[in-house]
Amino acid sequence: MDGHDNHMHTLPGEPAAMMELVRLKGVHKVYGRGVGVHALHDIHLQVSTGEIVAVCGPSGSGKTSLLNLAGMIDSATEGSIVIAKLLLSQLTEQARADLRGEMIGHVFQSFTLVPVMTALENVMLPLLLRRRLDEPSLQAAQARAADLLAQVGMATQARLYPERLDSSQCQRVAVARALMTQPRLVVADEPTSRLDSGAARLVMDLFARHQLEHGTAFLISTRDQRQLSRVTRTLQLMEGRLGTPAELLRKPLRVLS
């Protein structure tokens, strides 16, 4: 943040001053040994509180790889990743897992719902994994999960198992689950890809409420042009390189040895 922002004051009803949550600096990601597949090239990215940042690009451009790094699902081949002022390469696996569970919500393309749990139980799962709940806390968690499902138009399907849900409904359950713990950052991979316009609007409305009320940051990948008017920033990813189209045309590739 620039120096002239240091004296900004927050008015009632406005989100708190923005703070950097995620920084990727000079990040490369290569899958496999030898030549391998160079999925991401020299990525520089910052995401701050209260932002909804959209990463656009065609299939195979590296969007999922980028989100997996920012969401602490994967590690960089080269470069540094800082989450909440902590350099990930200096953390133990347990510390990384604890940080991920504490501050990040995920929406995966494949939804990753637990088949033996109802929609309501799936939404509650991140909170249940973090700690054992006493009866009052469990009831409060159930109420919060039910409210989140209602906000994505799933109130009447709360007791259904994933096999009884279509792909649109599963995706909305995954969105609700990502917000269950009120995370500081939500990393969402194509979160509206299976949704019609009405359901997509419900999801983006829910993101916007959390952005405004809690300062939640969102990093989403999308090919859904309908949602770009709702985001704070839009970035383009082409062949593993991040930037504006003009920058991407000028920027040479560097192959890791």
Q: How far apart are CA 50 and CA 223, in angstroms?
A: 22
Residue 252 is classified by DSSP as P
Give which of 82, 256, 257, 60 is closest to 185, Cα–Cα: 82
How much is the CA Rg of the chain, to the nearest whole Å? Answer: 19
Residue 235 lies in a domain: yes
Q: Is the pLDDT of residue 198 over 90?
A: yes
Q: How far apart are CA 69 and CA 189, in angstroms?
A: 12
Token pair, residue 189, equals: 């991979």
Pick 248 or 2 by higher pLDDT.
248
pLDDT grade, residue 49 (50/70/90)? very high
Q: How far apart are CA 257 and CA 255, in angstroms?
A: 6
The secondary structure of 48-107 as a DSSP string is ETT-EEEEE--TTSSHHHHHHHHTTSS--SEEEEEETTEEGGGS-HHHHHHHHHHHEEEE
Token pair, residue 179, equals: 């917000």
Residue 13 lies in a domain: no
**Which pLDDT value is given to residue 252?**
59
Q: Give CA 184 to chain center in angstroms.
A: 10
pLDDT, tens digit (0-9, with 9 covering 90-100), for 139-164: 999 999 999 999 999 999 999 999 99
Lowest mean pLDDT segment, chosen from 2-11, 75-84, 187-196? 2-11
The rounded percent of the chain whose pLDDT value lies above 70 is 88
Each as own residue / partner, the long-range contacts of residues 86-89 (CB below 8 Å, 24 or more positions apart, any chain) are none
Q: What CATH number should be reported for the domain holding residue 205?
A: 3.40.50.300
The pLDDT of 2-22, averaged and rounded, is 54
Q: Is the pLDDT of residue 12 over 50?
A: no
Neighbouring CB atoms inside 10 A of 222's CB total 22
Q: Is the pLDDT of residue 168 over 50?
A: yes
Residue 2 lies in a domain: no
Q: What is the total count of domains within the chain?
A: 1
Q: How far apart are CA 12 and CA 250, in angstroms?
A: 44
3-state secondary structure of 195: coil
Residue 15 lies in a domain: no
**Which pLDDT value is given to residue 250?**
61
Handedness of CA 60, 201, 49, 147 (dihedral sign): negative
Is 106 within 8 Å of 181 (Cβ atoms)? no
**Which pLDDT value is given to residue 14?**
47
Q: How far apart are CA 85 and CA 62, in angstroms?
A: 25
Sheet with 20-31, edge to edge strand ranges: 37-48, 20-31, 78-83, 86-87
Q: How far apart are CA 46 and CA 219, in angstroms?
A: 10
The pLDDT of 20-44, averaged and rounded, is 93
Residue 1 lies in a domain: no
Residue 12 lies in a domain: no
Residue 207 lies in a domain: yes
Residue 26 lies in a domain: yes
Q: Is the pLDDT of residue 78 over 80?
A: yes
pLDDT grade, residue 84 (50/70/90)? very high
The pLDDT of 25-33, averaged and rounded, is 94
The pLDDT of 54-81, averaged and rounded, is 96
Domain that residue 181 falls in: 20-250
Pick 190 or 34 by higher pLDDT.
190
**Which pLDDT value is given to residue 129?**
87
